[in-house]
Amino acid sequence: MSNPESKYLGKKAEIPTNYDPSVLVPIPRIENRKQYGICEKPEIFSGYDVWHAYEFSFLTEKGLPIVGLLKIIYPSSNLFLVESKSLKLYLNSFNMSRFGNSKTNGLKAVLSIIKADLQEILECNVKVSFFDNEASSTNDFKDYNKLEDIVDTSLIEFDSFKESPDLLQQESENGNEIKVYSDLLRSNCKVTHQPDWGSVFIHLKSKVRIDKSSLLKYLVSFRNENHFHEEVCEMIYKRLWDKFSPDILMVTCIYTRRGGIDICPVRSNIPEVIPKALTDSTKLSFKLYRQ
């Protein structure tokens, strides 16, 4: 298929009435990366794509509905990502399908199936876990400062709504380390152009000092951009990498769920600063504002 990302996006698609792995669509990462000078297997970052599916359900063999949240994690170093609507259709295909004579047996079978199906199309190790209780109190970002609170927004003219690295400015030659975030991230689906809302978290240590007002202007500039979530995260990362040559750089985008699923890409050059709870398949991290 010449354009796999548009197989379902922007089109009416029937939800499968029974388990159906054939609806899954892998998309080559390189198609989005090459236009920003990011190679197929980047050396400037590693990371993960973290998905939360909040409306997952299946039936036991006795017809008992099992309902909960699926957490799916796979590395950004693989060659493919899964197209979001195809994943929604795939997970919905479990809704009326029956697995196991008990909740325990059913979950064991279902998680094994999902893991195998995703690993086949993504060609990498995939972690899949199920939760039916509240999130933990672990907040990876509790020591991050909100950009729109620490800069004087009344002095900023927000007049650019197309992404441009020229918006990013250096404040001084005095390097520093910052942990900041903004809840003003908005981009649009690459195919349907429907709005995607989210928050972006940035940990940056550089030999120069970034102007925080310019950083906020840059993040706001995504408002009319049409990209996949993973692409937005990698674009922000690449622009900061090229502009400030950081010693430490971590970018995490936490997008609001759409169709019952949120996508949280994480990229960093230092594995130690990657959000621990978010990227741990055994934990549900503290739910953030945009989730």
Q: Is 49 a catalytic residue?
A: no
The CA distance from 49 to 71, in Å, is 11
Q: Among 117, 196, 262, 280, which one carries the catalytic annotation?
A: 196
Give 187-256 as a DSSP string. EE-TTT--EEEEEEEEEEEESSEE-HHHHHHHHHGGGG-B--HHHHHHHHHHHHHHHH--SEEEEEEEEP
The CA distance from 34 to 36, in Å, is 5
CA distances from 23 to 91, 117, 119 (A): 10, 11, 14
The CA distance from 64 to 33, in Å, is 44
For residues 268 and 274, is the Cβ–Cβ distance under 8 A?
yes
Q: Is 189 a catalytic residue?
A: yes
Q: Among 189, 233, 253, 264, which one carries the catalytic annotation?
A: 189
The CA distance from 56 to 52, in Å, is 10
> Which distant-in-sequence residues (6+ apart) come within 8 Å of 259 by Cβ?
84, 85, 88
Give the distance from CA 127 to its chain's centroid: 15
Active site residues: 189, 196
